[in-house]
Structure 1
Amino acid sequence: MDHQLHWERDEDGVVTLWLRHPGRSVVVIDRWLIGQLEACFDEILRDGPPTGFALFSRCDRTFVAGADLAEINDLDDDALADYLASGLETFARICTLPCPTVAGIQGAALGGGLELALHCDAVIAAAPPANRRPYRVGLPEAGLGLCPGWGGTQMLPARIDPARAITMMVHGETPAMTDMPDGLFERVVSNEADLFEACHRWLANHPGAPTRRTPRCIDGSNRGAIAGGLASVRDDLPDTPAARAIVEAIEIGLSDGWAAATAAERRLLIELRRTDVARERIAAFFARTSA
């Protein structure tokens, strides 16, 4: 494969990878980017195990804008299932690196873009310039009648207050990064110029291989807190197909763990795509963005 993502290894063995998307104004997750990431991870490991891994975006105002909805819309159910499984398998390679990992975000991290970042051990954010509105962060899928498909239902409640995470997901909320609940960001630096150094400093301060083989997600360490968070908001959640799907995925994570829950996300997303609500909202999204 012709590699179009740049990565480098410093003298201490720390690998830095920059996301980009040639020909696009923003980085989106599509089959091309998934293939590029897969090839990069192959190459990185052939070169020897890294001592740390940092992920950044070359885009000016966006970390990753999310999945390519047009590409998803053109896939049949079997192809969409393969695409989602392939993406998750590639993202999971971050978790299996024998070193600490960090994502540095300097712009909007939405949907699959946030899910990609959450596969890292830590997320560090740069505050926007004073003359620019704060960028948005979150999982907006429910706003399109869909649900997250790359582990978002399992990872966000493990990072921030579970009740708040569940409420955000079922409403498709994408708060400004300045309004994000505590826990998502390991640190916020004052400007983008400091982001690279902050991420590499975090890696230096957290040496050694992590013990997890999955991202930080619903597991035995937080199951009680997340179950309690779900119980506290259950009666206030909207009665929509997307909200019900998100709750179902969370419940499967609570009972059966990461692999079963992410498989459920894929199944539920494919089912939701066929609903009238999703069809109408996706059509409206395309009409709005093409105007």
Structure 2
Amino acid sequence: MPALTCETLDGGVALLTLRNPPLNLITLELTAQLIDAVARVRADAGIRALVITGEGTRAFCAGADVSEFADVRGDVVGKKLARENEAMSAVRALPIPTIAAIGGVCLGGGAELAIACDLRVIDETAGIGFPEVHLGVFPGSGGVIRLPHIVGLPRALDLLYTGRTVPADEALAIGLATRTAAAGNALDDALALARTLAAGPALALSLIKSGAVASLTQTDEEAVAASLVDSARVFRGPDVDEGLAAFAAKRSPRFTAGRDADIQAQEEPE
């Protein structure tokens, strides 16, 4: 049985489900399958948004399978953490909106996977945390790197130092979650949001994401220069024509172009 599944739904949405019940723990095999699944999503131009969730109601993902630690103790970085970082970075680098649908507990590596996504929809009964410090280690698969950008440095250090689990309402208040859902509705709400985003202008959304992420490490001058290049790209694509036509006609736009629409437009013969 696969450790995860990835299916393409209607409306250009892909659903990736961790399937290692009851807690959907991260194993070496799950990590390998996650890397492969994300690569397939990236290569499929028909996928315009991705939702990641966990099987069942107990957990999105409760972290690493500690029973594997004995097998990798001599080279935990090479055999485990390097691969996990490869997986998390691949999720982060996807040029489409990504949403974590969090039901139940979301801890450790599961929380790192969630914050590798752009958005997090969390069940009102769920919690999220980084308890690695209680094992004498720290979140080595992106948690220390990404969490400060999401909640700010002081809050990130509070969560990482204490390892406490944050309830859904607090997660929303500090920006760790982007939306809360009624009990049992996190996946449905995340899919609805994904379909809305998938219907948007793919190139613009891709450039919004890449520009926002890049700006975290750029000077203002560098970010402005990159933004002007990206603006030129969207104005070369067909989505602008559709957006303006829809605005003039007072109707909803119907964006169908892909995230490389500007390149395709340049390659078309005159």
TM-score by length of 2: 0.69
Residues 221-260 of structure 1: matches in 2 within 5 Å?
none
Give CA deviations for 1:226-258 in whole Å, capped at 9, x if unaligned: xxxxxxxxxxxxxxxxxxxxxxxxxxxxxxxxx
1:164 aligned to 2:155? yes
Q: Name the aligned partner's letter for residue 201 of structure 1.
A: A
> Which of the pair has more CA radius of gyration?
2
Letter of the aligned partner of 1:182 in structure 2? I
Match of 1:182 in 2: 174
Residue 247 of structure 2 corresponds to none
What does 1:104-183 align with in structure 2 at a 5 Å threshold? Answer: 104-128=101-125, 135-180=126-171, 181-183=173-175
* Most deviating of 37-46 and 136-145: 37-46
Equivalence map 1:63-142=2 (5 Å) = 63-128=60-125, 135-142=126-133
Matched letter for residue 190 of structure 1? A
Deviation at 1:221, TM superposition (A): 7.3
The 8 Å contact of residues 101 and 190 in structure 2, kept in 1 or not, is answered as yes
Deviation at 1:54, TM superposition (A): 0.6
Alpha-carbon offset, residue 45 of structure 1? 4.2
Contact map agreement 1:84 1:149 (CA 8 A) in 2: yes
Verify the 8 A CA contact 1:121 1:215 in the aligned structure 2: no
How far apart are residue 81 of structure 1 and its match? 2.7
Distance 1:66 1:218 in 2: 30
Secondary structure of the structure 2 residue equivalent to 1:98 = coil
Distance 1:173 1:198 in 2: 26
* Aligned-residue identity in percent: 27
Change (3 A) 1:100 1:140: same
CA deviation map 1:129-173 (0-9, x unaligned): xxxxxx431111112211111111122222124212212211222
Per-residue CA distance 1:80-110 (angstroms, 9 max, x = gap): 4331111111122212222111000011110
| Cα distance in 2 for residues equivalent to 1:174 and 1:214 | 31
Distance 2:18 2:211 in 1: 22
Aligned to 1:265: none
Matched with 1:27 is 24
Q: Which moved more, 1:136-145 or 1:109-118?
A: 136-145
Contact conserved, 1:158 with 1:218, CA < 8 A, in 2?
A: no
1:36 matched to 2:27:
no
Distance 1:175 1:12, change over 3 A: closer
Separation in structure 2 between the aligned mates of residue 73 and residue 210 of structure 1, nearest angstrom: 43
Contact 2:3 2:18 in 1 (8 A): no
Distance apart, 1:72 and its partner CA? 1.9
Which residue is 2:189 aligned to?
198
Per the TM alignment, residue 123 of structure 1 is displaced from its structure 2 partner at its CA by 0.5
Residue 255 of structure 1 is matched in structure 2 by none
8 A contact 1:27–1:62 mirrored in 2: yes
**Gapped regions of structure 2 (runs ≥ 5):** 220-270
Change (3 A) 1:200 1:154: same
Instruction: Measure, in 2, the Cα distance between the counterparts of 1:45 and 1:86.
Output: 18
Q: Determine if the alignment matches structure 1 residue 52 to structure 2 residue 46.
A: no
- The root-mean-square deviation of aligned C-alpha atoms, in Å, is 2.7
Tell me how many residue pairs correspond in the alignment: 212
Partner SS, residue 84 of structure 2: helix
Q: 1:52 to 1:19 in 2, by over 3 A?
A: same
Q: TM-score, normalised by structure 1?
A: 0.65
Specify the code of the residue in structure 1 equivalent to 2:14: V
Q: Give the gaps of 5 or more residues in structure 1.
A: 129-134, 223-291
How far is 1:210 from its partner? 4.6
Does structure 1 residue 5 correspond to structure 2 residue 7?
no
SS at match of 1:116: helix
